[in-house]
Amino acid sequence: MEVELLIALVMLAAMLFALMGQNRQKQKKALIPTTTTKWKIKGGKEKWVDVKTQASFPANAVAALGHPLELPNGATTTQYIGLLLIRGKAIIGRCWKWNNQPAVASTFAIDGKEVNTVGQHHFQVLTIDQTAHGYVYKWKRMSKLRTPGYDWLPIHEENIAPCVVVEEGAHKLGMADVKGFTAVLAWSGAIVNFAPPVTDDFLVLCRRADSDNKDIEPFTPPDAAPPALPSCDAPRRPGPSRRIHQVEWSQVDSSQVETSDEEKT
């Protein structure tokens, strides 16, 4: 009788270990980035296009501030918004055209290191349909996001949003934690972390619902004549509802950075 009981206990333990092993395998698979991962932002239909390094660059990709950004050495570069999923966490980084060809390369801040994704990962690039109606998009200073009831909402996944770091007159695309108001930048092989009040003037991509139309507001440098807003031939949607509008991002030809605290928000 004791031998039979011992055998039964051994068999039960073996079954439990087998089930635990299967659960661990499922958990590992859930953490691996896949080419079918799609990210949706609440209240809209923003589209993250899945790509792989050196694949064709996606049409209508969103460039930080909508134009080439100035670097500390005086050069300029167009930095596009990319997204990577690592161990269940969203990481926003920058993408660019590979060797000035219609192919994509990218870099992200992963585990305290700058990681270039060449030949390693699938990732996603943010695109916008500029003809859609229902929202106004604008790059807003991070300090504004602390204002109670502020109606400009960051484009985010979890707490992470695209953020342009303003440092020594240069602009570099990184990511911001819009709850902690911190920012992380991966640049030249190094990771730089920023905290308030340094991050107050960093720029976060935001949107505000508009029931009548959707414009990408232009960036207006100080002392420069404001450029004309991009035309939009798509008909306006009827009715006052703000929930019927679908937004699928396309090229941001021009975006505006706040230039004063007195502007209308």
Q: Summarize pLDDT for 180-223 with one digit per residue, the tens.
A: 999 999 888 889 999 999 999 999 999 887 765 444 454 444 44
Q: What is the pLDDT of residue 237?
A: 36
Q: What is the 3-state secondary structure (H, E, C) of the chain?
A: CHHHHHHHHHHHHHHHHHHHHHHHHHHHHHHCCCCCCCCCCCCCCCEEEEEECCCECCCCECEHHHCCEECCCCCEECCEEEEEEECCEEEEEEEEEHHHCCEEEEEEEECCEEEECCCCCEEEEEEECCCCCCEEEEEEEHHHHHCCCCCCEECCECCEEEEEEEECCEEEEEEEECCCCEEEEEECCEEEEECCCHHHHCEEEEEEECCCCCCECCCCCCCCCCCCCCCCCCCCCCCCCCCCCCCCECCCCCCCECCCCCCCC
pLDDT grade, residue 225 (50/70/90)?
Answer: very low
Q: What is the pLDDT of residue 37?
A: 30
Mean pLDDT score, 63-89 = 86
Mean pLDDT score, 136-153 = 89
pTM above 0.75, yes or no: no
Mean pLDDT score, 141-166 = 91
More confident residue, 222 or 46: 46
Mean pLDDT score, 71-89 = 85
Least confident piece of the model among 49-58, 78-87, 136-145, 208-217 = 208-217
27 pLDDT more than 90 = no
Which of 109-118, 139-148, 251-260 has the highest mean predicted lDDT (pLDDT)? 139-148
On average, the pLDDT of the chain sits at 70
